[in-house]
Amino acid sequence: MYHWENAKPLLGRQNLYMTTPLRDQAWLQIAVGLSTSMPGELQYQRLVDAICDVLPCDAVALLKLQEGELIPVASHGLAPELIGQRFRLAEHPRLQHILSAREPVRFPDEAGLPDPFDGWLAIDTERNTDVHACMGCSLYVEQQLVGVLTLDALTPGAFDQLDDMTVAAFAALAAATLRNVALIRALERSTEQQRALARELVQEAQRREGELIGRSVELQKLREEIRLVAATDLAVLITGETGTGKELVARTLHAQSRRHDQVLVHINCAALPESIAESELFGHQKGAFTGAIQDRAGKFELADGGTLFLDEIGELPLPLQAKLLRALQQGEIQRVGSDRLLRVNVRLIAATNRDLAEEVAAGRFRADLYHRLKVYPLTVPALRDHKTDIDLLCGYFLDQARSKLGLQQIGLHPIALSRLKAYDWPGNVRELEHLLLRASLKAAREEPGRPLIRPHQLDLPDETASPSHQAAEPTSAASTLSLRDAVDDYQRQLIIHALNETQGNWSATARLLQLDRANLNRLAKRLGLQ
């Protein structure tokens, strides 16, 4: 078992594979991260980068243990969409073995157990290369198992001469990094961390980030806004384009509220026929109208004590808006056909993809109801505004697709990923989810065993594969870029187009672009295409 507290005595051991200056530089890089409050993801990445620099490996992964799954938090030498995957222990005996051991574990080249990172090497665009040397180490924080550190190499026997104590030192530093990130996050969230610091650290190291997938500034801001307003009973109006995840935000608000152990009632106002909308919201008495054969509670009554989520509130008919306003202002409802007033205690969350201010100006939505709903407005960003999250979203949705389709693994070709990043996503996250599910099915049919999603399986508009229309004239978005950024974007699109024309052959792409192969590789790396 390797604890972060044990790192110091391990550092003195020499290692065959790293010179003293290089080793010391690695220690310093990791120590700087541990001594600062830099974002946790950056600390994780610096750690694995330093390990890969000084140890004889082609890939390193740091995975956090969480509810019976191992979740990658950082990697070096592995495909970017790996982040967002979930490695279920029952499906990965090598990872199970590493977790159960108290010493670094080396696997023979022909161990007979599938390596979880076979087909995940970033240098392998076809995603079909197996690793040949593998070892790993379990990580502990305050006597609690919190994750693993894995090393992989293409060279058989690469780790045979590697000193166990050196691996232990890096394992201890990895555990220290998990501890440090957990500490910073606990300090940010709580003013009482001193009373139960150890418990907080372990809980944070194992905490699920939630279903709002993304690390962008936009998503972080949204999460913070949700945490702020969830603890209150204020009405919340969620706005955003179709497919951005407004319902998910509503469910997250309820889950983090004081009413989380009560019911969340969801009603789609766009699907309500006007003739029965009032009955659906407020209920009716027996005999109130033809077909009312018994008393029926409406959604407000059903949500009493909990949360009522009115999706697509902008579609609600004007006559019903007045009755909804009265219910919100007075906390009272009246069933159709009844003279009796009923008191209800409901926290209201509404959502719409319409601009309600414009609807008010056009006379299609009541101004007083609009202001009553938007006590605390939340805007869910469009996917095109946080494209940096596409890697993570792809990993998450591919893992879901793998489970739904019964696959062992599903990968994403780098050119396909580049096309996804170049697309504007009018259907937002929902469109990405459905596209990847379709593409996974096609890839599984064409490449049984270890399918890889390729550009032709994405069903994206042709313009994402060709830069010609994008370069014809600057768009309003592009006009805000610097000249260097605009040139980089144009070069990136040209390379992607050429790669599509040559079926991903880099040598043929270099000839097509009239570039030296080495120069093309350097340019592609700088542009994030390799």
pLDDT at position 202 is 35
pLDDT of residue 184: 60
Do the bridges between strand 296-297 and strand 283-284 make them parallel or antiparallel, or are there none, so unpaired? antiparallel
Residue-by-residue pLDDT tens, the chain, 530 positions: 334 333 333 333 333 444 455 555 555 555 555 445 566 678 888 888 888 888 888 899 999 888 889 999 899 999 888 888 889 988 899 999 999 988 899 987 766 788 888 888 888 777 778 888 899 999 987 788 889 999 998 888 888 888 888 788 888 888 877 777 766 665 555 434 433 433 343 333 333 334 688 889 999 999 999 999 999 999 999 999 999 999 999 999 999 999 998 999 999 988 887 777 888 888 877 766 666 667 778 888 899 999 999 999 999 988 889 889 988 888 888 888 777 888 899 999 999 999 999 999 999 999 999 999 999 999 999 999 999 999 999 999 999 899 889 888 899 998 899 999 999 999 999 999 999 999 999 999 998 878 999 999 998 876 544 444 444 444 444 444 566 666 777 787 778 877 777 767 788 787 777 777 777 877 887 777 76
Helix 164-189 crosses helix 197-205 at what angle (to 10 degrees)? 110
C-alpha dist (Å) from residue 86 to 45, 116, 235, 429:
18, 11, 35, 19
Separation CA 85–CA 75 (nearest Å): 12
Distance CA 383, CA 381 (A): 6
pLDDT at 1: 39
Domain ranges of the chain: 4-189, 217-383, 384-526
Residue found by looking up tokens 């790192």 in the block: 7
**Pairwise CA distance, residues 470 & 344, whole Å:** 55
Please name the residues in contact with 326: beta carbons below 8 A apart, sequence gap of 6 or more. 332
pLDDT computed for residue 234 by the predictor: 95
Q: Which pLDDT score, from 0 to 100, does residue 371 have?
A: 94
Q: Residue 357, CB half-sphere, CA atoms under 13 Å: how many?
A: 3
- Tell the CATH topology of 384-526: Helicase, Ruva Protein; domain 3 (1.10.8)
Cα atoms in the 13 Å half-sphere on the side-chain side of 246: 26
As a whole number of Å, the CA-based R_g of the chain is: 27
Q: 364 near 384, Cβ under 8 Å?
A: no
Half-sphere exposure of 352 (CA within 13 A, CB side): 19
Closest CA to 390 of 97, 100, 80: 80
Q: Residue 185: what pLDDT?
A: 60
Smallest Cα–Cα separation from 495: which of 529, 468, 472?
Answer: 529
Query: How many Cα atoms sit within 13 Å of 2 on the Cβ side?
Result: 31
- pTM for the whole structure: 0.68
Per-residue confidence (pLDDT) for residue 26, from 0 to 100: 56
Residue 309 pLDDT: 95
Contacts of 348 (CB under 8 A, 6+ apart): 235, 236, 307, 308, 310, 328, 373
What pLDDT was estimated at residue 472?
Answer: 40
| pLDDT score recorded for residue 291 | 65
Any idea of the CA torsion for 393, 395, 397, 399, to the nearest 10 degrees? -160
Measuring CA to CA, how many Å separate 300 from each of 153, 281, 283, 325, 347? 60, 6, 8, 13, 10
Domain 4-189 sits in CATH 3.40.50.360: no
State the fold for domain 217-383: Rossmann fold (3.40.50)
Q: What pLDDT, on a 0 to 100 scale, did the predictor assign at position 440?
A: 94
Name residue 350's beta-bridge partners: 237, 310
- Cβ atoms of 237 and 373 within 8 Å: the answer is yes
